[in-house]
Structure 1
Amino acid sequence: MSKVKILLSLFMGIALLFPQMSKACTNFLITKNASADKSVMISYAADSHDLYGELYYWPGQQWPEGAMLDVYEWDTGKYLGKIKQASETYTVIGNINEHQVAIAETTFGGRKELRDTTGIIDYGSLIYIALQRSKSARQAIKVMTELVAEYGYYSSGESFSIADKNEAWVMEMIGKGVGNKGAVWVARLIPDGMVSGHANQARITNFPMNDPENCLFSEDVIEFAKTQKYFDGKKKNFSFADAYAPLDYGALRFCEARVWSGFRLMNPEMEKYEDYVKGESSERLPLWIKPSKPVSYRDLQNIMRDHFEGTSMDMTKDAGAGAFGKPYRFRPLTWKVDEKEYFNERAIATQQTGFSFVAQLRSYIVPDAVGGVLWFGVDDAATSVYVPIYCGINSIPENFKVGNGSLLEYSSTSAFWIFNRVSNQAYSRYNLMIEDIKKVQTRLEDKFEDYAPVIEQAAKHLHQLDPAKAKEFITEYSLAQSKLTFDAWKDLDEFLMVKYLDGNLHKEENGVFLKNEHGNPYHAEFPGYSKEYYQKIVDETGEKLKMKKLPGEESTH
């Protein structure tokens, strides 16, 4: 993964700047007939301890002949080189463009020797350049693969979710090492009615080699593996993932486990793969599955908030959850005791998320400006709000705008910072505060869902009269809901501070603090800890903390 900061300038100064992000993201893909409203959807959590959550924006434009684009690595900001600019680029809002094309990614790394440090195109550049140049998912795949073939692929192994309003694809790519310009890759169309996912581990194994409508791949993907001695069998037995990113226990427990957890929420039959993600079964998790019922965009938003609740890996239940059932484990992910290595679970929702989204792509809504929605949130998805950002907007909400604060510069008007204030409060007393957070979260997201049909109907009507006015309308709506959400979270931050001050609990009803008949606060309540936690204390301390009586003492407790 990588942190993104992108600045666009004119000819000979055009640049994509990409500060640091780390390897830890999650994607799910939902096809038309697997979704509740016949939309195509992809979700993405951009997880990094170094990522500042903001919403990127490139307005579409025409470019003069001979224009060049400076490319900087997404992970480090390192200058990689120049490439030819397209004659026309399309407007991009975050990870969706004006034609309802959306792209997300997760890094699987793979074989280290295949990193080409002389390449010009890194995976972050591929995403945002392809979005600026593509009207469909298939075209995005063509743009991405042609770019790395011409200019070289700089990054390690990567899985991409590439979707438009009709199709969803998973493409996996890895370089060929210094001196071998280009990349080997496979792209598979997710069958309609199915859902898929990936989370930092290559997942394409065997694939059809004579079905270009449903599977695309580089010509040398198998031969290169043979020359590198990664594979020596028959073509029909070739597995991309096994050749270029062999599984280890970490890949199962930290990566495949997240895909499994999302799958089980879409189809309970997937519970049977729990042994696989624990390394106790060889029955591999499939690349795609059929959900037990249609998946809505609200369902997908809530999947992005999962911490393995209800499973044996539930992060609110083990010792690391502490006294308040916190489903978060601060890094490092693994540690040693007496020279033995141990680990924490890695769930879909995590504290280090910079931003996340659910891209909803709808062929049945015309125009595209209204059909494509980026449900966008910053910070930890479990304690965030997904705000509707339509792909046809022509300006970015101030609270999400690039340049409004940074990871080392606090901004009182930045959504990233106000959401972090709330989540970081919640981590200290999670089991109590999360209930207050969910009330506001649900109230806002219910409102967005209720208003959407009316807003979209009005926007479609306006589009028939004047397309420019329709874009102004959805822009104003998206900006207003972003500001509404920011203000609500600012109020929530203050509310939590008062309600839980010093570990106490102040009485309130519907968000209003109660006072006694004299106009003063009621005496604070002391919520203490759970019975289970008190028992743990007794088990560990024995008689040490047991109350005793002095000789002749009468108890006053």
Structure 2
Amino acid sequence: MNERQLAMGESTCGARFVSRPISDGGLALLDITELGRIALERTTTARDAILLMGRLAETYGYYGSDWDNDDAYASAGEALTISDTTEAWMFHILPDDTGASALWAAQRVPSNHIAVVANEFVLREIQFDDADNFLSSSNLRDVAARSGFWEPTLPFDFTAAFAYTGASSEASTRRVWRVFNLADPSNALSPFTDLYASNYPFSIAPASPLSAHDLMAFQRDHFEGTAFDLTQGPAAGPFGDPERYSTAQSGGRFERSIAVASSTYSFVAVPTATSQDLGLLWFGAHAPDANTYIPLHVRISEVPARLSQGSLRAFDLNVTFWLHAVLGNYAARYYKFAHPVIAETQVALESAMRSTLKDVDRVAPALRDLQGDDAMVAYLTTNADVAATQAHDVFFALFSSVVTRFHDGYVVANATSARLSTTPMGYPDWYLKSVGYFDPLGGASASSVGAIVFLILVIIIALSVGVGFYVGRVRAAKKRGYAYIQ
């Protein structure tokens, strides 16, 4: 989000064309990072940002995040959610078939609607004659037609023409369904759909207006309470860990939830139409289910050090990302016990920060009017730093509490009493049965029993061979020995 409250979110998508950057012998100059930076530097509205990025990409060429391996098509396209104080748009872009230009389109999200993108294009029929709600490059139909991706007698479907996906797309379509389901639990959309969710609308009206904190909750979701709940079932282990890590094996899949442990950060942008100075970004480092969102006004002159510093190459508990990471990784081991404590802290802390914001948003404009813009910026910057420091301190104490209360298979209570209370976490019956706890050999699996039996047989055979060899040698020695003179 820039200082004029123009905000962008990003989602990498598969696309049918791949291009190579000039730096690697190709023809394309710009990727989505550079396009977004230029737009945030030079524009103030979503519509102007889209037109600028589209024009630059067409002129100088666009390339995706990868281009020289078998997975390049899976990341050749990009989607941006772009909003300002009055409009929100969905923007899609990919290379063209020459590798030197770009294909792009954008659709305005209707007022009071919510639209979702989850690593797969979602723009469908483009209305080229409706400039109020659609923007696009002029080459869409020509490139699609000559590539065999579109029949000119049919309406132009952007996703059908240019999206690329593998054999399945549930990792994308089911997250779209889940957000729509959370926004309006009464909607009749099925979580089962085709590769491109052709029966899903571009956007829906939520059952009630959504707050920033509703969107934070969406980003912390693991399909809880649905048939796809990642806190349930054998893969969650005995304590309901919802994380599913990447595997090298093919031919299967886990559900892909909205919240994932591999998140570097997430955010919720809140433009404010009534004041240019009070636009807000709620920023959360690391995975949403183990972090806290911290309010940062767009007019601050410096991002708090705990949020802006640090490296993936070096663990540092003074950096908020690493604090959230160590908390999340530890709590995952005892998720069903530890996560409710984390969730309670998240709600309490973010509610407190929301209350503080009311005072900040009241004082900041008054300070600007009395002492000037610099005084207001300094005030907002100080408040952002205070919020980041307080949040860090709360979560450091939370981590200490979680480790104290849940460790080594026990839940510890009465920490301030003379006598601690410890309760074994235990294991559910289904888990004990699955690991052979009730089997005669006390939990040994069938494969390990077989291995033990095989090992015993090998030892018996080896001993038999050894004894036989020894007896044979003794007997042979007697036959070859000297005969006594009678």
Q: TM-score, normalised by structure 2?
A: 0.84
In 2, Cα distance between equivalents of 1:113 and 1:164: 31
In 1, Cα distance between equivalents of 2:229 and 2:85: 35
Q: Is 2:19–2:62's contact at 8 Å kept on the other side of the alignment?
A: no
Q: Is 2:118–2:173's contact at 8 Å kept on the other side of the alignment?
A: yes
In 1, Cα distance between equivalents of 2:30 and 2:220: 32
- Superposition map of 1:478-493 within 5 A: 478-493=384-399
Amino acid at match of 1:120: L
In 2, Cα distance between equivalents of 1:482 and 1:452: 13
1:137 to 46, 54, 61: 46
Secondary structure class of the residue paired with 1:174: strand
The structure with the greater share of residues assigned to strand is 1
Q: State the superposition RMSD in angstroms.
A: 2.0
In 2, Cα distance between equivalents of 1:409 and 1:248: 36
Specify the alignment match of 1:439 in structure 2. Answer: 344
Structure 1 residue 129, shift from structure 2 partner: 1.9
In 2, Cα distance between equivalents of 1:187 and 1:283: 18
Structure 1 residue 247, shift from structure 2 partner: 5.0
In 2, Cα distance between equivalents of 1:164 and 1:249: 37
In 1, Cα distance between equivalents of 2:104 and 2:421: 65
In 1, Cα distance between equivalents of 2:168 and 2:265: 24
Amino acid at match of 1:353: S
The answer to whether 1:216 aligns with 2:135 is: yes
Amino acid at match of 1:383: A
Per-residue CA distance 1:258-291 (angstroms, 9 max, x = gap):
11101100011335321226x7x97521110111
Specify the alignment match of 2:324 in structure 1. Answer: 419
Q: 1:168 to 1:439 in 2, by over 3 A?
A: same
Specify the alignment match of 2:460 in structure 1. Answer: none
Structure 1 residue 532, shift from structure 2 partner: 4.0
In 1, Cα distance between equivalents of 2:433 and 2:317: 42
In 2, Cα distance between equivalents of 1:411 and 1:317: 33
Specify the alignment match of 2:93 in structure 1. Answer: 173
- Superposition map of 1:85-124 within 5 A: 96-113=1-18, 117-124=26-33
Q: Is 2:263–2:287's contact at 8 Å kept on the other side of the alignment?
A: yes
1:327 to 239, 242, 246: 242
Q: Is 1:273–1:283's contact at 8 Å kept on the other side of the alignment?
A: no
In 1, Cα distance between equivalents of 2:323 and 2:173: 32
Amino acid at match of 1:346: R
More displaced stretch, 525-534 vs 299-308:
525-534
Structure 1 residue 541, shift from structure 2 partner: 5.2
In 1, Cα distance between equivalents of 2:197 and 2:15: 20
Q: Is 1:260–1:270's contact at 8 Å kept on the other side of the alignment?
A: no
Q: Is 1:335–1:343's contact at 8 Å kept on the other side of the alignment?
A: no
Specify the alignment match of 1:553 in structure 2. Answer: none
Report % sequence identity: 27
2:353 to 448, 453, 473: 448
The answer to whether 1:377 aligns with 2:291 is: no
Secondary structure class of the residue paired with 2:100: coil
Structure 1 residue 316, shift from structure 2 partner: 1.1
- Superposition map of 1:286-297 within 5 A: 286-297=201-212
Specify the alignment match of 1:515 in structure 2. Answer: 417
Structure 1 residue 248, shift from structure 2 partner: 4.7
Bigger relative contact order, structure 1 or 2 (CA pairs below 8 A, ≥6 apart) = 1
Specify the alignment match of 1:68 in structure 2. Answer: none
In 2, Cα distance between equivalents of 1:439 and 1:290: 29
Secondary structure class of the residue paired with 2:424: coil
- Superposition map of 1:489-504 within 5 A: 489-504=395-410
1:470 to 368, 376, 379: 376
Q: Is 1:308–1:315's contact at 8 Å kept on the other side of the alignment?
A: yes
Amino acid at match of 2:172: C
The answer to whether 1:350 aligns with 2:260 is: yes
Q: TM-score, normalised by structure 1?
A: 0.73
Specify the alignment match of 1:395 in structure 2. Answer: 302
Specify the alignment match of 1:29 in structure 2. Answer: none
1:430 to 329, 335, 345: 335
- Superposition map of 1:247-258 within 5 A: 248-251=166-169, 253-258=170-175
Q: Is 1:120–1:154's contact at 8 Å kept on the other side of the alignment?
A: yes
Specify the alignment match of 1:406 in structure 2. Answer: 311
Secondary structure class of the residue paired with 1:187: strand
In 2, Cα distance between equivalents of 1:259 and 1:544: 47
Secondary structure class of the residue paired with 2:193: helix
Specify the alignment match of 2:425 in structure 1. Answer: 527
Amino acid at match of 2:345: V
Q: 1:488 to 1:282 in 2, by over 3 A?
A: closer
More displaced stretch, 386-395 vs 462-471:
462-471
Structure 1 residue 150, shift from structure 2 partner: 2.4
Specify the alignment match of 1:28 in structure 2. Answer: none
Structure 1 residue 358, shift from structure 2 partner: 0.3
More displaced stretch, 306-315 vs 147-156:
147-156
In 2, Cα distance between equivalents of 1:296 and 1:448: 15
In 1, Cα distance between equivalents of 2:101 and 2:438: 61
Per-residue CA distance 1:212-268 (angstroms, 9 max, x = gap):
11111111101111111111232x5111101111555432x1011111101100011
Specify the alignment match of 1:362 in structure 2. Answer: 272
Specify the alignment match of 2:475 in structure 1. Answer: none
- Superposition map of 1:124-203 within 5 A: 124-155=33-64, 156-177=76-97, 179-203=98-122
Secondary structure class of the residue paired with 1:496: helix
Q: 1:527 to 1:282 in 2, by over 3 A?
A: closer
Secondary structure class of the residue paired with 2:268: strand
Secondary structure class of the residue paired with 1:335: coil
Specify the alignment match of 1:264 in structure 2. Answer: 181
Specify the alignment match of 2:232 in structure 1. Answer: 317
Per-residue CA distance 1:118-167 (angstroms, 9 max, x = gap):
21101111112211111111111122112212221121211111110100
Q: How many equivalent residue pairs? A: 427
- Structure 2 unaligned runs (5+)? 65-75, 444-486
The answer to whether 1:207 aligns with 2:126 is: yes
In 2, Cα distance between equivalents of 1:232 and 1:272: 29
In 2, Cα distance between equivalents of 1:440 and 1:282: 37
Q: Is 2:277–2:299's contact at 8 Å kept on the other side of the alignment?
A: yes
Amino acid at match of 1:258: R
In 2, Cα distance between equivalents of 1:216 and 1:98: 25
